[in-house]
Amino acid sequence: MSMFKVNVMGLAAHFEAPDSAEELDRLVGRTGATLDAALRNFSYHCFAPDARDAFAEKLSERKDTPIPQVEKDGVPQFKKGKEGEEDTPILMSAQQFYNQLLSDGTVDEAEAQEIMTEVCAEIPFDPSPSTRARKPSKQAYDAADRLIAAIGAGANSWENIIAKFEENNAPTTFASLVEGEGDGQDRDTLARAVRQNEARKAREADTDFA
Does residue 22 fall inside a structural domain? no
φ/ψ bin of 48: left (φ > 0), alpha (ψ from -120 to 50), beta (otherwise):
alpha
Does residue 196 fall inside a structural domain? yes
Q: What is the mean pLDDT of the chain?
A: 84
Instruction: For residues 77 and 60, give the distance between their C-alpha atoms in angstroms, rounded to a whole number.
Output: 20
Does residue 142 fall inside a structural domain? yes
Does residue 9 fall inside a structural domain? no
Domain of 121? 33-206
**How crowded is residue 128: how many other Cβ atoms within 10 Å of its Cβ?**
11
Q: How many domains does the chain have?
A: 1
Predicted confidence band of residue 190 (pLDDT cuts 50, 70, 90)? very high
Does residue 130 fall inside a structural domain? yes
Does residue 104 fall inside a structural domain? yes
Does residue 28 fall inside a structural domain? no
CB 89 within 8 A of CB 76: yes
Does residue 111 fall inside a structural domain? yes
Q: Residue range 166-194: average pLDDT?
A: 85
